[in-house]
Structure 1
Amino acid sequence: MTDTLDHAKRALRAELRERRQQLSDAQREAAAAGIRDRLDELVDSLGATSVSCFLSSPTEPGTRPFINAAIARGIRVLLPITREDGLLDWTVATAEGQEIESVYGVPEPVGEVLSPIAVNDVDLMIIPAAAVDRSGMRLGWGRGFFDKTLGSMDRRPPVYAVIYDSELIDSVPQDVHDQPVSGVVTPTRVQDLSTDS
């Protein structure tokens, strides 16, 4: 990655992080409720019975209401566990699931650890993002876990990034290893995006 590209990504992430930190608790709760409803719609439209999702950090659009509702509906939900090699292990979410803070400062589930290939069987992947552009390119938070996971999959299911409405933007800086998504889920809509994958 060139210094210019790295600087552009860092600057955009810092701006987005600051915007997220400005949101009130009421705005976060409303966003989480909207995300739950939109993800429920997406799961229903795809007929998904097994999904991967993530435990949202305090500033991210909340995913826990969706995860709890999905478990109650009998949908199998896999949650990621970070590894030192940059890949992700997985565990099956449970209604009374416990979590810890990872070494990266993000919530991580506690449970029986499944290997990185466990995600190959899901019908839908729901992943975090800092922003996504209208062509489907995703800007993550710089650790590369989801880019590596997506890049290593032979058969990729639909992949949707969870973001706030204002984070669907015209373009994001991208590098060769960055992976596109199929669409985005915001508190107000599900939007499919054109990608080359």
Structure 2
Amino acid sequence: MHDIASKARLRADLLARRAAMPPEDRAAAGRSIRDALLTVPEVEMAGTLAAYVSIGTEPDTRGLLFALWKRGTYVLLPRLLPDGDLDWASYEGPDSLVPGPRGCLEPSEPPRGPDAVASADVVLTPAVAVDRTGMRLGRGGGSFDRALARVGPAILTVAPLYETELLPTLPSEPHDQRVRAVVTPSEGFVRLG
């Protein structure tokens, strides 16, 4: 129980820090993260990349999604299922996004099933924080933990973060999934583990 309570407190603190960031700082961070990710060899060579549409104060992914799509990468985005799991569908540009549950934007293309994420060469995953071993703190719903559990060990999984969100250690539970890298505005792409 200790880990659940400490995760909730830490999540609330980190989300409050995000909310306090000036919008122009968040926008600049999103551009830096986009530029760093576009030069990562695995991302440059990826035929299929699974990602997500950022919402609220998350590091912006919209510019990255558009850039990947324009250069011909096949981008899969999640569709939230009623049980909290994620289905996946293709991103066909900004006009292909429609409102989904919990304030998320989702692809309007036909769903490809929850296992479609396993076909991705790179998986971009949201996180509130990540520690130096790759342990990821999400929003608490477990949707991306389920998706990451379907991804093979050789696949690059990466979380975009703001500067203060790469931490020495994080509390964790057995179902929590690690990521293999993070990208921050100042450090750029960082492999973990």
TM norm. shorter chain > 0.5: yes
Equivalent-residue separation in structure 1 for 2:97 and 2:145 (angstroms):
26
Q: What do residues 62-107 of structure 1 show as CA deviations (whole Å, max 9, x unaligned)?
A: 00000001110000000001112332101100122222141x3333
- Aligned partner of 2:10 in structure 1 is 12
- Aligned partner of 2:190 in structure 1 is 191
Q: What do residues 129-170 of structure 1 show as CA deviations (whole Å, max 9, x unaligned)?
A: 010001110011100011112223456611001111210001
Contact 2:79 2:100 in 1 (8 A): no
- Aligned partner of 1:148 in structure 2 is 146
**TM-score between both structures, scaled by the size of structure 2:** 0.92
Q: Which runs of 5+ in 1 are unaligned?
A: none
- Aligned partner of 1:78 in structure 2 is 76
Equivalent-residue separation in structure 1 for 2:79 and 2:36 (angstroms):
25
- Aligned partner of 1:169 in structure 2 is 167
Q: Residues 48-87 of structure 1: matches in 2 within 5 Å?
A: 48-87=46-85
- Aligned partner of 1:34 in structure 2 is 32
- Aligned partner of 2:87 in structure 1 is 89
Equivalent-residue separation in structure 2 for 1:32 and 1:162 (angstroms):
9
Residue 130, structure 1, aligned to residue 128, structure 2: yes
- Aligned partner of 1:111 in structure 2 is 109
- Aligned partner of 2:99 in structure 1 is 100
Equivalent-residue separation in structure 2 for 1:100 and 1:182 (angstroms):
30
**Percent of aligned pairs with the same residue?**
37
Deviation at 1:40, TM superposition (A): 0.3
Equivalent-residue separation in structure 1 for 2:166 and 2:75 (angstroms):
25
Q: What do residues 22-73 of structure 1 show as CA deviations (whole Å, max 9, x unaligned)?
A: 1112112101111110110125566212100100012000000000011100
Higher mean C-alpha displacement, 5-14 vs 112-121: 112-121
Contact 2:117 2:150 in 1 (8 A): no
Equivalent-residue separation in structure 2 for 1:193 and 1:54 (angstroms):
21
- Aligned partner of 2:179 in structure 1 is 181
Deviation at 1:111, TM superposition (A): 2.2
Equivalent-residue separation in structure 2 for 1:56 and 1:45 (angstroms):
18
Deviation at 1:109, TM superposition (A): 2.9
Paired AA for residue 192 in structure 2 = L
Q: RMSD of the alignment, in Å?
A: 1.6
Q: Which runs of 5+ in 2 are unaligned?
A: none
